[in-house]
A = this chain, B = another copy of it.
Amino acid sequence: MSKLNEECGVFAICNGNDDTDVASSVFLGLFALQHRGQEGAGISINRQGKLYIEKELGLVSDVFTKSRLSKLADADMAIGHVRYSTTGSSIRANVQPLLINHLKGNLSLAHNGNLTNASYLRELLENEGCIFHTSSDTEVIAYLITRNRMTCDSIESAISKTMETIKGAYSLVLMTKDKIVAARDPYGFRPLCLGKLNDRYVLTSESCALDAIKATFIRDIKPGEIVSIKGDKITSDETHCNKVPKALCVFELIYFARPDSKLDGISVHNSRVRAGSILAIENPIQADIVIGVPDSGIDAAIGYSRQSGIPYEVGLIKNKYIGRTFIEPLQEGREKSVSIKLNTVKSVIKGKRVVLVDDSIVRGTTSKQLVKLLRESGAKEVHFLSSAPKFLYPCYFGTDIDSSENLIAYKYTDEEMKEILNVDSIGFLSVNAVKKIGDVKCEGFCTACFSGDYPYKIDSDNKKERFDLNE
């Protein structure tokens, strides 16, 4: 694992009077959100008040073959989900949405985020005789909503009551027999926005999925907000809003989100270019060319080039057929070779002093190989810059950050890193600077993984923990 992984993306499309092919729209939306989760994908539809589901491990385009998508035809509403990929806990039962068939009504639920008190809540529920089929937080949320629904007079108030209990990061979409409800945690860790396609409301983790189906962006869902949509009627419950400072994960801007998305009003591309510019101010270097590591280092490299005046070049080419299935046939170890994925443009590199910009450095293994590739291609100097600050602290809000002992910046000094990576200099964006990469005035970011400054105190007992069903 050379990059961090995000946990999931969600998508929903509501009822309407047009003849939109609902399932195909969710398919396209999930395809646009694929970068947020490559482990599994699912779509749950509502056909005349009844809920159905299709989900499976795999990429969106592999899971949803023509024949599978045809089973979801004639839907009135639908929600969908993509799930991220790790080796360990990649079991089918965990693929979302979760479809609940209950006496009091059916519901489908898709969730992006991570609760910090999930283990505690799960234990509580199990002590009351609940059985869990998955190891995901989503089932905990489903249980709480279901139980609260028995004493609340609406699904919205059941969700509101559940939000009093659950702590952490969550952006939810939930579908019942006649409506779709969305909720975002009070800190707003993970993005969630609202759009419209003809007369149908659409909800999605990132705005790029609205573009994919040619829907119009309306607004972001506020941290703490519950939005309920029934046909063309939309109501908002702001009870949980503005109680705590906003804390959008800043790494969404730096790496997770697609550059063509806007999150809470901030253009991802622009914030990356801006990060590159600040990086140039904080790390001035004498060099001949600036190159970015495809794909997510490109924008910052352009920013660096603009600020510094050093020409931007295309020095690394990514094989565009790279994908999950690729590595299967190779022998152990070989698939880790960066040369399968990336190649240098020797005519560009040869004899040059190179500034190499990547979005971040996690373990340093890929970075080391990249530097080696550049040196073999004749680079005279290599200066490695990360447009993210150093990773030093765990994330409890949905980023699958490595344990500290694997984080190169945690273990080594700058001087040691220089030697390990065999570079002429190394540099990182400062924590202070990362708070300013938004191109609009931003109320607040979570920078905990860089600064250790958590939005709220994490109880040591409730720290994230993974359940293994049959891991």
Chain A residues close to B by CB (< 8 Å): 21, 24, 27-28, 31-32, 34-35, 50-53, 59-62, 64-66, 68-70, 99-104, 122-123, 126-133, 135, 139, 142-143, 146-147, 150, 208, 211-212, 214, 258-260, 262, 267, 269-270, 295, 298-299, 302, 306, 311-314, 317, 319-321, 323, 325-326, 328-331, 334, 339-340, 343-348, 439, 467-471
Which residues of chain B come closer than 8 Å to A259, judged between CB atoms? 314, 317, 345
Beyond A28-B340, A52-B470, A299-B314, 18 additional contacts (C-beta under 8 Å) are A27-B329, A27-B330, A31-B326, A35-B320, A52-B471, A59-B321, A66-B329, A99-B469, A102-B131, A131-B139, A212-B340, A259-B314, A259-B345, A269-B317, A298-B314, A302-B314, A312-B312, A320-B320
A177–chain B nearest beta-carbon distance, Å: 13
Residue of B nearest to A320 (CB): B295
Given A24-B329, A302-B314 in contact, is the A319-B130 Cβ separation under 8 Å?
no
Q: Which of A24, A51, A61, A259 has the most CB of B within 10 A?
A: A61
A412–chain B nearest beta-carbon distance, Å: 28
For this chain, the copies found in one complex come to 4
Whether A439 lies near B469 (C-beta < 8 A) is no
A114–chain B nearest beta-carbon distance, Å: 19
Whether B53 lies near A321 (C-beta < 8 A) is no
A250–chain B nearest beta-carbon distance, Å: 18
Whether B269 lies near A314 (C-beta < 8 A) is yes
Which one of B35, B319, B470 lies within 8 Å of A99 (CB-CB)? B470
Which residues of chain B come closer than 8 Å to A348, judged between CB atoms? 267, 269-270
CA distance A60 to B325 in the complex (A): 10
A228–chain B nearest beta-carbon distance, Å: 22
CA distance A343 to B340 in the complex (A): 27
> Which are the 6 A-B pairs with shortest beta-carbon distances?
A267-B347, A103-B126, A52-B470, A129-B147, A69-B329, A260-B317
Which residues of chain B come closer than 8 Å to A260, judged between CB atoms? 317, 343-346
CA distance A339 to B215 in the complex (A): 11
Whether A62 lies near B325 (C-beta < 8 A) is yes
Is chain A's interface secondary structure helix, strand, loop, or mixed overall? mixed
Residue of B nearest to A98 (CB): B133
Whether B34 lies near A131 (C-beta < 8 A) is no
CA distance A61 to B146 in the complex (A): 39
CA distance A86 to B349 in the complex (A): 36
Which one of B295, B299, B343 lies within 8 Å of A208 (CB-CB)? B343
Whether A306 lies near B295 (C-beta < 8 A) is no
Residue of B nearest to A302 (CB): B314
Which residues of chain B come closer than 8 Å to A132, judged between CB atoms? 100-102
Whether A32 lies near B126 (C-beta < 8 A) is no
Which residues of chain B come closer than 8 Å to A35, judged between CB atoms? 320-321
CA distance A267 to B343 in the complex (A): 14
Which residues of chain B come closer than 8 Å to A150, judged between CB atoms? 127, 129
A293–chain B nearest beta-carbon distance, Å: 14
Whether B146 lies near A129 (C-beta < 8 A) is yes
Which residues of chain B come closer than 8 Å to A70, judged between CB atoms? 329
Which residues of chain B come closer than 8 Å to A317, judged between CB atoms? 208, 258-260, 269
Whether A269 lies near B345 (C-beta < 8 A) is yes
Which residues of chain B come closer than 8 Å to A344, judged between CB atoms? 211, 260
> What are 16 sample pairs from A and B whose C-beta atoms fall under 8 A apart?
A35-B320, A61-B323, A61-B326, A62-B325, A68-B329, A100-B132, A100-B133, A103-B127, A127-B150, A128-B129, A133-B133, A211-B339, A267-B347, A269-B347, A295-B320, A347-B439
Which residues of chain B come closer than 8 Å to A212, judged between CB atoms? 319, 339-340, 343
Residue of B nearest to A62 (CB): B325
CA distance A128 to B325 in the complex (A): 44
A406–chain B nearest beta-carbon distance, Å: 25
Which residues of chain B come closer than 8 Å to A470, judged between CB atoms? 50-53, 99
Which residues of chain B come closer than 8 Å to A53, judged between CB atoms? 470
A448–chain B nearest beta-carbon distance, Å: 27
Given A64-B329, A317-B260, A339-B212 in contact, is the A135-B34 Cβ separation under 8 Å?
no
